[in-house]
Amino acid sequence: MNRFAILCAVALVAAGPALADTSRPPVDYANTQLSDPRQEAQAKALMEELRCLVCQGQSIADSDADMAGDMRALVRRRIAAGEKPDAIRQWLIDRYGDYVTYDPPFDWLTAPLWLTPIVLVALGLLLARRSLKRRGRN
């Protein structure tokens, strides 16, 4: 067991991170803000609601992955060209599905996601009322 633990530790140290990044410099607008602060605010708000596709737990605003940089550049380019944030979000949904947005639309698949909290609160209130009533009687 002990030997196994040591082996694991050695394996962890020996395993370097996989090199999966380009040697090319990041594209324009990946890390450069738009000059119009209002547009930049719009872009930033949208970037925080788009999922990085290669990191999966982060928004593209948070991620350092090259692909997230490309997606930020895409968002900023399109915002600068006057496109509406919702249209850009839809463009990405058309390619990657709802998975790409952190603001999932309401449909039969996401219904439990939206409705379960409401149902649980209602159930809680009901239980509370029942047990309070009982205590009142005693």
In one letter, which amino acid is 18? A
In one letter, which amino acid is 94? D
If one asks whether residue 71 binds other proteins (CB under 8 A), the answer comes out as yes
If one asks whether residue 103 binds other proteins (CB under 8 A), the answer comes out as no
From candidates 2, 16, 17, 94, binder to other proteins by CB under 8 A: 94
Work out the widest C-alpha separation in the chain, in whole angstroms.
Answer: 75
If one asks whether residue 96 binds other proteins (CB under 8 A), the answer comes out as yes
In one letter, which amino acid is 15? A
State whether residue 18 is helix, strand or coil: coil
Q: What are phi and psi of 26, to 5 degrees?
A: -60, 150
Cα-Cα-Cα-Cα torsion 23, 28, 34, 40, nearest 10 degrees, comes to -50
If one asks whether residue 23 binds other proteins (CB under 8 A), the answer comes out as yes
Q: Which is nearer to other proteins, 42 or 100 (CB)?
A: 100
| Residue span 36-65 as binding mask against other proteins, x where in contact by CB under 8 A, dash where not | -----------------xx-x---------
Binding residues for other proteins, rule: CB under 8 A, are 18-24, 27, 53-54, 56, 66-67, 70-71, 73-74, 92-97, 99-100
